[in-house]
Amino acid sequence: MKFRCEREVLNEAFNATSRAASNRGTNPTLSCLRLVLAGESLRVTGTDGDLTIDSSITVSNGKDGVVLVPGKLIADVVKSLPSGAVDFEVVEDKVEISAGRVNFNVPIGAGDDFPKWSGTVGEGAPMSAPEFAEALRQVVRAASTDDARGVYTGVYMTGIDGKLRMVATDSYRMAIRDIDASVIPDGKSVVVPARALSELLRLLDRQERVSMNITENDVTFEAGSTRLVTRLLTGSFADYQRLIPPNLPNTLTVAREPLTEAIRRVKLVARDPIGTPLRMQITGIAVTLRMITPDNGEATEQIDANHAGNDIEIRFNNEMLTQGLEACGTDDVTIQTSEPSKLAVIKGVGQPNFTYLLMPLKS
């Protein structure tokens, strides 16, 4: 195999696909990228067995062939090269890579058990890539990062009233987002690993459209010349609709940025800022933030706000609260409450399609 390609094009393909390659040493083949050259089309594939990313690019001066190359190493090598043309050639048991006056000789990967492509090929259900990417940024952060939580390490996707609804929860908070995309039939649902969606988010930059194609065990996303396929998670997801509290009596309306900045300031006194409760005392015209620690003292800040309902003091995990506020993305937000020990509902003003639920900390 041999070919020539511009460094920027090659770097984008290798960087994207190498993120799916396994970093575990149990199967060296899965730490490799598979390169297949046919004519002027180079197909680069990385996989860990559960997540696969595949990118096709156009090259020149080619000689057809198939080879495995060490994924992370090759990606780092290409990233380090100067701009311009890169020559790539397989010579016996190594890959020669050169750009200008820079030359690398890298051993090829071993093994003939590289997994076959398991995703779909062809037209899937299309949707807006920018809108889908925004929804992923809002929802994926709420999924559990504990592998033992199974289905809760994923994002529940379902069709409802001709729209796509995405839900994620780690049992302490929940994010729900609807987008105008009829990609899953009403009443049908799947759970997609959050890790795969985080990688997909990286691929959606500068894309206008993304398609989604679901099979019994996998889902394939295609954006531009790159495809991502991941296994679906199995198991029963929470009855999320039952958890949404109706008609909460207290509504705080506050400017989002001043509130997040105040949270960042008061948590400076906490040696363990995540574990130390953030106390919010909410009254009719203001909200007072307070954090108290035995070692570093106390920090208090008051900001203007509008509050309808009963005065209340409620405690939150400040990191989860901040992430919910950031996910809203609007100038103003509402925080609806009922009692200090019950779920709070956070929404962006003028943004009805996103809801963030947060469980308060115990007093």
pLDDT attached to residue 273: 61
Residue where one domain finishes, among candidates 220, 242, 264: 242
- What does the alpha-carbon distance between residue 279 and residue 339 come to, in Å, rounded to a whole number? 14
Please, are residues 139 and 58 in contact by the beta-carbon 8 Å criterion? no
Same domain, 267 and 288: yes
Query: Average pLDDT of 155-179?
Result: 97
Is 358 a residue whose pLDDT tops 90? yes
Residue 112 domain flag: no
Q: Report the percentage of the chain scoring pLDDT > 70.
A: 98
Same domain, 238 and 129: yes
CATH number of the domain within which 35 lies: 3.10.150.10
Residue 363 domain flag: no
Is 253 a residue whose pLDDT tops 70? yes
Residue 231 domain flag: yes
Residue where one domain finishes, among candidates 224, 242, 260: 242
Runs of H (alpha helix) within 100-218: 129-139, 194-203
Nearest to 233 by CA among 150, 160, 312, 311: 150
pLDDT attached to residue 295: 84
Same domain, 178 and 276: no
Residue 113 domain flag: no
Residue where one domain finishes, among candidates 184, 211, 242: 242
Same domain, 230 and 285: no
pLDDT attached to residue 141: 96
User: Which residue segment(s) compose the domain that 313 sits in?
Assistant: 244-358
pLDDT attached to residue 266: 95
Q: How confident is the model over 210-249, as pLDDT tens digits?
A: 999 999 899 999 999 999 999 999 999 999 999 999 889 9
Same domain, 263 and 346: yes
- State how many domains the chain has: 3
Is 109 a residue whose pLDDT tops 90? no
Same domain, 132 and 163: yes
